[in-house]
């Protein structure tokens, strides 16, 4: 009772702090099957049922749907479990939104255990459109009441690798629901009044996306993979496979320690879609593989600008931009104009400037900066630069005045 009082006070304190209903952030490269277990029994009022449908629609709004993206489905909890639609029925966000909007309440008894057994036996299967090698998530929205036992079928689902989230809009048994949800319960179990469901929408959505393999820090030649903690160094290791989608014969494989939850992949091709598979090799239980598709960015061109500065009679600084990660080094070729002699200076790809020294005073130079990419490609850009003229004594003083350009009047 004390626990429920604390949760109720928390809900009241949050009341009114609802998530904004403006444009939702787009969530790219997400692949998985999300099943909603929807309480459609007579213990739920029509008003509550409509609010839960609205919550599910908001939760799914940013996702992309399709055979290589997110798939979703609904099972009604009633006297007999009923499929609203299979996973592969609706391949677009608009179709999913329309289908959920048209979902009708069935009434009947709250046989949640039967619905869970039905999900385990019939729903995470090829016949229902489920895919074998993608993360699987179950979101059970309940008023906290069930007429049959949920523990055995729920455990069987979790043993299959299904991640279970529970949203209770009633006074459910906290200990029972904590045991039913995936661990830890503070990330997978939510108690909230039906009118305050928007409060947890973003948190639940973030938790769902965190259960999967995903890519961050994507560039033209690299991205970082992140995944939930599925293993430890003592319980197994990961096998990571990544393959250009259009060149399946170029599969690359790495073995990763079980205590890792991220890995940076480098030396990738620009504007290329990679299929990534993370296979947990556990010595204690079966954990299904996780997959994602990541598209690298367009290769950033360098250099696009050259700046000459800090000119003296015998030196000047050459700077350029940008300096993308895909560039290994820069080659700076410089020589006086007119003339056929030139010198070459190599600069590390992480640097964006260098000083050219031992030059001839009051002379025009042609400077060419060439970027050498990891792919072997080259791109060059040229500019003219001038050294300053010699110093002379200013009449009537003992001071020297420098920087006389003479005939070299180029603007840098």
Mean pLDDT along residues 150-167: 87
Kindly provide the b/e burial profile for residues 85-112, where b requires at least 16 CB atoms within 10 angstroms of the residue's own CB.
bbbbbbeebeebbebbeebebbebbbbb
What is the CATH class of 214-295?
mainly beta
**SS3 of residue 22 by DSSP:** coil
What does the pLDDT read at residue 23?
44
Given a cut of 90, whether residue 375 has pLDDT beyond it is: no
Looking at per-residue confidence, does 212 or 91 come out higher?
91
Strand partners, 158: none
pLDDT tier at 53, thresholds 50, 70, 90: very high
Instruction: Give the domain ranges of the chain.
Output: 2-210, 214-295, 305-401
Q: What 3-state DSSP class applies to 298?
A: coil
Q: Quick check: 13 pLDDT over 90?
A: no
Query: How far apart are the C-alpha atoms of 344 and 29, rounded to whole Å?
Result: 44
Percent of the chain with pLDDT over 90: 44
Q: What is the pLDDT of residue 24?
A: 47
Question: What does the pLDDT read at residue 100?
Answer: 95
Distance CA 249, CA 276 (A): 14
Long-range contacts at 119-128 (CB < 8 A, ≥ 24 apart): 119/35, 119/37, 119/75, 119/81, 119/153, 119/157, 120/153, 120/156, 120/157, 120/160, 123/35, 123/73, 123/75, 123/83, 124/33, 124/35, 124/157, 124/160, 124/162, 128/73, 128/83, 128/86, 128/87
Residue 7's pLDDT is: 35
The fourth-level CATH superfamily of domain 2-210 is von Willebrand factor, type A domain (3.40.50.410)
What is the b/e burial string over 253-264, where b = at least 16 CB atoms within 10 angstroms of the residue's CB?
A: eeebebeeeebe
pTM of the model: 0.54
Burial level of 179, CB count in 10 A (0-12/13-18/19+)? middle
Q: Please indicate whether the domains covering 2-210 and 214-295 agree at the CATH topology level.
A: no
d(CA 368, CA 388) in angstroms, rounded, equals 20
* pLDDT at site 299: 78
Instruction: Report residue 20's pLDDT band, with 50, 70 and 90 as the boundaries.
Output: very low
**Count of all residues that appear for the chain in the document:** 412
Nearest to 167 by CA among 195, 143, 186, 183: 143
The yes-or-no verdict on residue 121 having pLDDT over 70 is yes
Tens of pLDDT, residues 234-252: 889 999 999 999 999 999 9
For residues 389 and 360, what is the distance between their CA atoms, to the nearest angstrom? Answer: 9
What phi, psi does 287 have (nearest 5°)? -125, 120
Question: pLDDT tens, 309-350?
Answer: 999 999 999 999 998 888 899 999 999 998 888 999 999 999
The mean pLDDT value for 87-114 works out to 92
- Give the model's confidence band at 399: pLDDT under 50 very low, under 70 low, under 90 confident, else very high: very low
Cβ-contact 168, 197 below 8 angstroms = no
Q: Are 333 and 370 in contact (CB under 8 A)?
A: yes
Return the percent helix, strand and coil in the chain, to nearest 5.
20, 35, 45
Q: Is the pLDDT of residue 270 over 70?
A: yes
Structure tokens that stand for 278 in this block: 């993370």
pLDDT greater at residue 120 or residue 238 = 238
Average pLDDT, whole number, for the chain?
A: 83
- For domain 305-401, the CATH class is mainly beta
Residue 9 region, left (φ>0) first, then alpha (ψ -120 to 50), else beta?
alpha
Of the pLDDT bands very low, low, confident and very high (cuts 50, 70, 90), residue 412 is: very low
| Per-residue model confidence as pLDDT tens digits over 186-199 | 889 999 999 999 99
Beta strands in 203-300 (DSSP E): 214-216, 223-226, 236-244, 252-257, 262-265, 273-282, 290-295
pLDDT over threshold 90, residue 26: no
| 14-25: average pLDDT | 40
Q: Which helix (H) or strand (E) holds 57?
A: helix 46-60
């Amino acid at each position: 009772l004390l626990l429920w009082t604390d949760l109720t006070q928390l809900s009241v304190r949050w009341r009114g702090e609802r998530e904004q209903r403006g444009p939702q952030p787009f969530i790219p490269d997400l692949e998985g099957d999300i099943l909603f277990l929807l309480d459609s029994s007579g213990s739920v009022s029509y008003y509550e049922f409509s609010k839960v449908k609205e919550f599910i629609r908001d939760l799914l709004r940013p996702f992309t749907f399709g055979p290589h993206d997110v798939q979703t489905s609904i099972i009604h909890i009633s006297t007999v479990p009923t499929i609203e639609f299979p996973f592969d029925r609706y391949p677009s966000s608009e179709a999913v939104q329309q289908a959920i909007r048209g979902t009708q309440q069935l009434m009947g008894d709250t046989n949640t255990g039967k619905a869970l057994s039905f999900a385990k036996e019939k729903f995470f299967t090829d016949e229902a459109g489920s895919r074998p090698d993608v993360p699987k998530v179950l979101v059970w929205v309940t008023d906290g009441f069930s007429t049959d036992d949920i523990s055995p079928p729920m455990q069987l689902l979790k043993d299959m690798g299904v991640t279970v989230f529970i949203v209770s809009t009633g006074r459910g048994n906290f200990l029972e629901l904590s045991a039913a949800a995936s661990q830890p319960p503070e990330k997978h179990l939510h108690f909230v009044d039906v009118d305050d469901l928007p409060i947890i929408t973003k948190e639940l959505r973030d938790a769902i996306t965190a259960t999967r393999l995903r890519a961050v820090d994507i560039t033209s030649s690299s991205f970082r993979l992140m995944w939930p903690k599925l293993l430890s160094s003592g319980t197994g290791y990961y096998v990571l496979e990544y393959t250009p989608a259009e060149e399946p014969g170029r599969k690359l494989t790495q073995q990763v320690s079980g205590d890792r939850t991220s890995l940076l992949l480098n030396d990738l091709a620009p504007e290329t879609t990679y299929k990534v598979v993370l296979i947990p090799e556990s010595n204690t239980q079966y954990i299904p593989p996780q997959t994602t598709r990541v598209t690298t960015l367009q290769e950033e061109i360098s250099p696009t600008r050259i700046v000459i500065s800090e000119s003296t009679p015998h030196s000047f600084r050459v700077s350029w931009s940008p300096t993308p990660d895909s560039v290994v080094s820069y080659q700076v070729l410089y020589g006086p104009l007119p003339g056929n002699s030139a010198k070459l200076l190599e600069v590390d790809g992480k640097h964006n400037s260098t000083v050219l020294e031992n030059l001839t005073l009051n002379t025009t130079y042609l400077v060419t900066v060439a970027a050498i990419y990891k792919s072997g490609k080259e791109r060059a850009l040229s500019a003219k630069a001038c050294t300053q003229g010699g110093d002379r004594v200013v009449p009537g003083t003992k001071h020297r005045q420098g920087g006389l350009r003479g005939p070299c009047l180029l603007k840098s």
